């Protein structure tokens, strides 16, 4: 009930409106306390059962699970598969000399190295030099 309506009713002589609202709130509070007391008296099995029942009731309100699943067309499925980021493969393609001949830049050659080669060699990003155990083996133009 809005405040303005309550004020009008109070001015008209009906003071029991506030009393009825207080009684309503007291009844709700007692109902909640009674429910909490019931829950406290239940053992663990009954509480689990009630929890499961509430979950089932909630799920039944949502409708059958099969109807909630998204149905994707074949084209959408193929597009998602195509757009998914690909994992980088760390397969051995050959020694570093072959990689440097095959790919134009040292950075591109490093993108195709295996894990062992990546652990063995270091690339200087600015100059394009490649080092093996601190020794220069490629100066950006030719093998040293």
Between CA 19 and CA 17 the distance in angstroms is 5
What residues form DSSP beta bridges with 136?
A: 131
pLDDT exceeds 70 at position 3: yes
Q: Domain coordinates of the chain in residue numbers?
A: 3-68, 96-138
DSSP reduced 3-state for 11: helix
Backbone angles phi, psi at 83, to 5 degrees: -80, -10
Nearest Cα neighbor of 133 from 125, 144, 121 is 121
How many other C-beta atoms can be found within 10 angstroms of the C-beta atom of residue 93? 14
* 107-136 tens-digit pLDDT: 888 888 888 888 899 888 888 888 888 888
- Which range is least confidently modeled, 28-32, 54-58, 86-90, 103-107? 86-90
> In this structure, are residues 136 and 144 in contact, taking their beta carbons and an 8 Å threshold?
yes
Structure tokens at 70: 């998204």
Average pLDDT over residues 50-63: 86
Average pLDDT over residues 85-104: 84
pLDDT exceeds 80 at position 140: no
């Amino acid at each position: 009930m809005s405040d303005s309506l309550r004020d009008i009713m109070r001015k008209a002589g009906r003071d029991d409106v506030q009393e009825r609202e207080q009684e309503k709130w007291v009844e709700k509070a007692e109902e909640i306390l009674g429910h909490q007391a019931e829950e406290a008296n239940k053992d663990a099995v009954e509480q689990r059962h009630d929890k499961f029942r509430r979950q089932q009731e909630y799920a039944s309100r949502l409708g059958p699970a099969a109807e909630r699943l998204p149905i994707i067309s074949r084209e959408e499925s193929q597009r998602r598969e195509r757009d998914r980021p690909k994992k980088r493969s760390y397969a051995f393609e050959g020694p570093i000399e072959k990689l440097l001949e095959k790919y134009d830049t040292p950075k591109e050659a490093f993108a195709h190295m295996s894990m062992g080669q990546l652990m063995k060699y270091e690339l200087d990003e600015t100059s394009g030099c490649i080092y093996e155990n601190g020794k220069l083996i490629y100066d950006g133009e030719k093998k040293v």
